Amino acid sequence: MLPLLAQLGDGFWMPPQASTKAESVDWLFFFLYWSSVAAFTLIMATMVLFLIRYRHRPGHKARRSPSHSTSLELTWSIIPTIIFLMMFWWGFEGFIEMHTTPDDAYPITVHSRMWDWRFEYPNGVTSDTLVVPINRPIHLSLKSDDVIHSLYIPAFRVKQDLVPGRINEMWFQATRVDDFDLYCAEYCGVSHSEMITKVLVRGEADFQRWMEEQLEDLRAAEDRPPHLRGKRIFDQLGCAACHSVDGTRDIGPTLKDVYGYERPMADGRTLMADQQYLRDQILNPRAQTVANFQAGLMAPYQGRLDERELSHLITYIRTLSDRGPSAEQIERAWRIERGEEVEDDDEDEAADTDEPAADEQDPAEDEADAQQHTPPNPS
Ligand SMILES: [Cu+2]
């Protein structure tokens, strides 16, 4: 009977049961639910029955009620105690199981922040959707860059807080190939409701293929002009959640025509948006806020980007301004630096593009990088 009730959870009253834990969670939930329904019905029915049966009638004299009944008291103590102990035991068992990660679990790091998710795989691949293989335990290390978030996958029946300054953990094993919702379940500011993405459960072969593509993309990204590498970092970090690149006002200032212009700040000062300004605003945005924008929303990127990544990101932002170098100029300088034949162009333009050449890496470093991104042997 009860397992049958748990089946009701699968897609009827609940999201589909898509992890190894889902059925036992639903089972316990429905046990609690239906025992509450049964207790409520029993108590209400008895009350109504007694109201009618023992109502006041003319000429009817009330009998004295018994003051004590050992058997009755034992019954109403022992039966509920057994039921409560059963509930405790199933809950406790499930809790322990949920917090005991299998040794062979596949590790993924989750970065959360207002209002965006990023999933980092052991080989350095990152993604804004959580792509996982079916039938394999997945271990998540949960981190937050700013406030408390909560990772919630209803179809898997798992939820865990992400707390700044802590690494929380959780694990699951998906049992259905499909796309499922992944929410933030802890109110975290104005765009909390947009902090939503997907879990894509795939067969082992599809997962490996996806991973190969990502690795390919990662390697190709290293062999691109700096502003394109910067754009990739911009996309990966989810900067677009708050900053437009076309002049549209969003949660944060647009990045179009910022570089090279004077910026009015909230404290009344005016700052020139040079490279140092961009660097400061990325690494420590809370130190100074642009006028008419809410302070403190952006997480500091100090320690989260290395100098090369930072330089690429700044180069990309400079290309978004009509006072910065154009993408063509950056690319041209990059090609010249690589020793490629470049068609003769305006001398002035070439002169403006000394900077990207400086952060060009040497081939040995490229080699080391490529090795870093080699995937672990799937066991
Ligand atoms: Cu959140």
The confidence score (pLDDT) of residue 305 equals 81
In the reported structure, the alpha carbon of residue 101 is separated from the centroid of ligand 1 by a whole-number distance in angstroms of: 24
Looking at residue 379, its pLDDT comes to: 40
Rounded Cα–Cα distance for residues 110 and 152 (Å): 12
Give the list of residues 6+ apart from residue 250 with CB closer than 8 angstroms, or none: 242, 243, 244
The rounded Å distance from CA 228 to ligand 1 centre is 29
C-alpha 166 – ligand 1 centre gap (Å): 15
Distance 114 CA to ligand 1 centre (A): 6
Distance 61 CA to ligand 1 centre (A): 65
Distance 162 CA to ligand 1 centre (A): 9
Helix axes 22-53, 70-98, angle to 10 degrees: 160
Q: How far apart are CA 98 and CA 79, in angstroms?
A: 29
**Cα 151 to ligand 1 centre (Å):** 8
Question: What's the gap in Å between 181 CA and the centre of ligand 1?
Answer: 14
Between the CA of 17 and the centroid of ligand 1 the distance, in Å, is: 24
* Domains defined along the chain, listed by start: 2-49+73-98 (no CATH), 106-216 (2.60.40.420), 223-372 (1.10.760.10)
Residues with Cβ within 8 Å of 173's Cβ and at least 6 positions away in sequence, in order, are 19, 20, 21, 135, 136, 137, 138
Distance 233 CA to ligand 1 centre (A): 21
Q: How far apart are CA 107 and CA 136, in angstroms?
A: 11
- pTM > 0.75: no
Q: Which residues, chain by chain, have CB under 5 Å from ion ligand 1?
A: 149, 184, 188, 195
Distance 163 CA to ligand 1 centre (A): 10
Ligand 1 centroid distance, CA of 374 (Å): 32
Gap from CA of 245 to ligand 1 centroid (Å): 24
pLDDT recorded at residue 198:
93
Distance 275 CA to ligand 1 centre (A): 31
Q: How many angstroms does the Cα of residue 315 sit away from the middle of ligand 1? A: 30
Tell me the two tokens of residue 165. 């300054």
Q: How far is the CA of 303 from the centre of ligand 1 (A)?
A: 22
* Cα 212 to ligand 1 centre (Å): 30
Our measurement of the distance from residue 170's CA atom to the centroid of its chain's CA atoms, rounded to an integer in Å, reads 13
Give 111 Cα–ligand 1 centroid separation in angstroms. 11
Residue 175 is classified by DSSP as -
Can you give the pLDDT of all 379 residues of the chain as single tens digits?
Answer: 555 655 666 667 788 889 999 888 888 888 899 989 999 999 999 999 999 988 888 888 877 877 888 998 999 899 999 999 999 999 999 899 988 999 899 999 999 888 889 899 998 888 889 999 999 999 999 999 888 999 999 999 999 999 999 999 999 999 999 999 999 999 998 888 888 999 999 999 999 999 999 888 888 877 888 888 888 888 888 888 889 998 888 888 999 999 989 889 988 888 889 888 999 899 888 888 898 888 888 888 887 787 888 888 999 999 999 888 888 888 888 888 777 777 765 544 444 444 444 444 444 444 444 444 444 444 4
Q: How far is the CA of 226 from the centre of ligand 1 (A)?
A: 32
Cα 25 to chain center, whole Å?
23
Non-local (6+) Cβ contacts of 10 within 8 A are 16, 17, 22, 23, 26
